[in-house]
């Protein structure tokens, strides 16, 4: 499925604000706590928003619209085509797919925790095969994976919190204790290249 996304939008917008180091913020004109909460809620409450999906584009349009209203802010947008998939419209991942392990002829459902956006989906019919685990440091091409369902992990990638805040104008005292910590999420790391190469993924599925 070919989707369109203004992916670079956020970077351009934030780059311009970050770049103006001489800018002083007048705190009496700064958004009050309630408004900031509302903004964060608006972004955090839309659910799954894969790049290019309808939900994602609606949110980007809203941010774009909001930025255009700010005097002195120049907004630029670049559009990219990308090939990806999204769950059935209005459905979450759990409703769009399923995974079960057969034990003694009985199917045990496994909760779906996530999906890799740029991999190929199945054609709608279910696939079955032996489940094998390939560790992150091993290439899929070194294993005979034909007809098998493969379990792979994203290796965790800890990012220092201090790095995330390095461009902040101001850090409130309650965040100071967090600065020595790390922001660690598995999806921050790059998945093994053999997970995102469509040719190899297709081989896996055949
Ligand atoms: C901040 O904004 C208020 C309200 O417009 C104004 O009265 C005040 O002079 C401004 N302060 C500075 C330092 O510019
Ligand atoms: C997915 O949607 C269904 C139906 O709305 C809901 O019952 C379920 O809790 C949702 N699952 C997740 C993981 O959000
Ligand atoms: C879907 O994929 C399966 C497994 O690769 C294949 O056997 C089946 O014929 C395909 N069905 C359609 C409608 O393409
Ligand atoms: C992968 O890592 C495991 C655990 O650290 C190690 O035992 C194994 O030899 C490594 N395999 C390869 C192919 O590097
Ligand atoms: C952060 O680490 C530095 C150096 O290890 C230490 O001096 C400082 O007390 C730590 N700060 C907090 C808030 O834990």
User: pLDDT tens for residues 96-133?
Assistant: 778 888 889 899 988 877 666 666 667 778 889 999 99
139 CA from centroid of ligand 3 (Å): 27
94 CA from centroid of ligand 2 (Å): 7
Q: What are phi and psi of 185, to 5 degrees?
A: -135, 135
102: left (phi over 0), alpha (psi -120 to 50) or beta: beta
Confidence band, pLDDT 50/70/90 cuts, at residue 10: very low
Q: Which atom of ligand 3 sits closest to the CA of residue 206?
A: 5
How does DSSP classify residue 79? -
CA dihedral 158, 81, 16, 34 (to 10 degrees): -70
137 lines ligand 4 (CB under 6 A): yes
Is the pLDDT confidence value at 135 over 90?
no
User: pLDDT tens for residues 67-80?
Assistant: 999 899 999 999 88
Contact 183, 105 (CB under 8 A): no
Is the pLDDT confidence value at 92 over 60?
yes
- Name the pTM for this structure: 0.53
pLDDT of residue 50: 78
User: pLDDT tens for residues 171-199?
Assistant: 888 888 889 999 987 677 776 667 665 54
Q: Which atom of ligand 2 sits closest to the CA of residue 112?
A: 13
24 lines ligand 1 (CB under 6 A): no
């Amino acid at each position: 499925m070919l989707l369109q996304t203004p992916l670079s939008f956020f970077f351009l917008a934030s780059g311009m604000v970050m770049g103006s180091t001489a800018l002083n913020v007048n705190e009496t004109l700064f958004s009050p706590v309630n408004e900031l909460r509302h903004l964060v809620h608006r972004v955090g409450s839309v659910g799954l928003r894969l790049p290019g999906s309808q939900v994602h584009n609606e949110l980007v349009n809203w941010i774009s619209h909001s930025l255009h209203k700010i005097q002195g802010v120049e907004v630029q947008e670049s559009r990219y085509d990308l090939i990806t998939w999204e769950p059935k419209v209005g459905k979450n991942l759990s409703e769009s797919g399923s995974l079960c392990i057969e034990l003694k002829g009985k199917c045990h459902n496994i909760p779906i925790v996530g999906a890799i956006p740029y991999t190929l989906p199945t054609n709608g019919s279910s696939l079955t095969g032996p489940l094998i685990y390939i560790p992150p440091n091993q290439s899929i091409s070194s294993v005979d994976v034909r007809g098998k369902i493969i379990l792979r992990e994203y290796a965790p990638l800890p990012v220092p919190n201090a790095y995330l805040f390095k461009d902040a104008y101001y850090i409130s005292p309650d965040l100071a204790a967090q600065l020595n910590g790390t922001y660690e999420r598995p999806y921050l790391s790059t998945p093994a290249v053999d997970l995102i190469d469509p040719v190899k993924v297709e081989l896996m599925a055949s």
